[in-house]
Amino acid sequence: MASLPRWSSIRGTTTLRDFYALSGIAFLLIAVAFEFLGYVYGQRKDQLVEDARLTTAIERQKEHDTEVAILRRQLSDANNKIAALESKKAERRLSPDEMHTLVSAINAFPGQKISITYLSGDKYGKELADDFVAVMKDANWDYGGGEGAAPGLFEREPRGITLLINDADATAHKASGGILALVHTLLDLHLISTPLLTGNKDVPAGAVRLVIGKELPQPVL
């Protein structure tokens, strides 16, 4: 120990004791400061990581919301297009050429009795029925006068255009020339798919009833 600095001096040992004691305290304070700074920066790191995670989550949510909005808009556009197509399909009318063709085909049979019926509450069916009434007027067919078309209630909702004749006439395969001309012309115009005449007890003998239902045939382009 005699080799240590100022080992044999009271003043020297006192000075060095104070120096080393204060240095130890200083180093301890520095160590504590570094530990504190390490803790503070550790907390800051965790906060930055959490902020970054939240930012990422927010960005992803925004992207998701944008994608959902785009999909909803596309779905809405698709639904609008479908609705427009369905509306167009429901709004089937007779073109001037079709009306002229029908009149030319059946006007050789004036006085033929016909009734025209559409689904009650179906405004599109009513409009098409009015077109047929106009044809019957021009062809001098007996459509019953007045508005000429009447709404009807059905146990089973009819589809497309149906032609009904009297039960007995149907059983006997009997139809007037005017009815046959009407059937074949409607077939040529693709307004009916088959030349079918259905028997019905409520239709008077020799007459024909034209029923307009849903899902009307569309014009052939």
Encoded amino acid at 25, one letter: I
**Contact present, 164 and 209 (Cβ < 8 Å):** yes
Q: At residue 175, does pLDDT exceed 90?
A: yes
Q: How far apart are CA 63 and CA 69, in angstroms?
A: 10
Confidence of residue 220 (pLDDT cuts 50, 70, 90): low
Same domain, 204 and 100: yes
Same domain, 107 and 204: yes
pLDDT at 64: 83
Q: How is residue 189 written in tokens? A: 């115009």
**Is residue 43 situated within a structural domain?**
yes
The SS3 call for residue 140 is: coil
pLDDT at 68: 82
**Is residue 220 situated within a structural domain?**
no
Q: How is residue 150 written in tokens? A: 């009447």
Q: Which of residues 90, 116, 132 is at a domain's end?
A: 90
Q: How far apart are CA 195 and CA 117, in angstroms?
A: 19
**Is residue 66 situated within a structural domain?**
yes
**Is residue 203 situated within a structural domain?**
yes
Same domain, 68 and 127: no
pLDDT at 103: 98
**Contact present, 111 and 142 (Cβ < 8 Å):** yes
**Is residue 221 situated within a structural domain?**
no
Domain enclosing residue 39, as ranges: 7-90
**Is residue 1 situated within a structural domain?**
no
Same domain, 101 and 75: no
Same domain, 166 and 120: yes
Residue 81 C-alpha from the chain's centroid: 7
Same domain, 130 and 62: no
Strand bridging mode 208-212 / 161-166? antiparallel
pLDDT at 221: 55
More confident residue, 65 or 87: 65
DSSP at 152: E
Q: At residue 82, does pLDDT exceed 60?
A: no
**Is residue 152 situated within a structural domain?**
yes
Same domain, 62 and 110: no
Using CA atoms in the order 102, 107, 110, 113, what is the torsion angle rounded to 10 degrees? -10
**Is residue 49 situated within a structural domain?**
yes
Same domain, 102 and 196: yes
Q: Which of residues 28, 57, 90 is at a domain's end?
A: 90
Same domain, 51 and 133: no
Same domain, 191 and 148: yes
pTM for the full predicted model:
0.60
Confidence of residue 34 (pLDDT cuts 50, 70, 90): confident
For the chain, the domain total comes to: 2
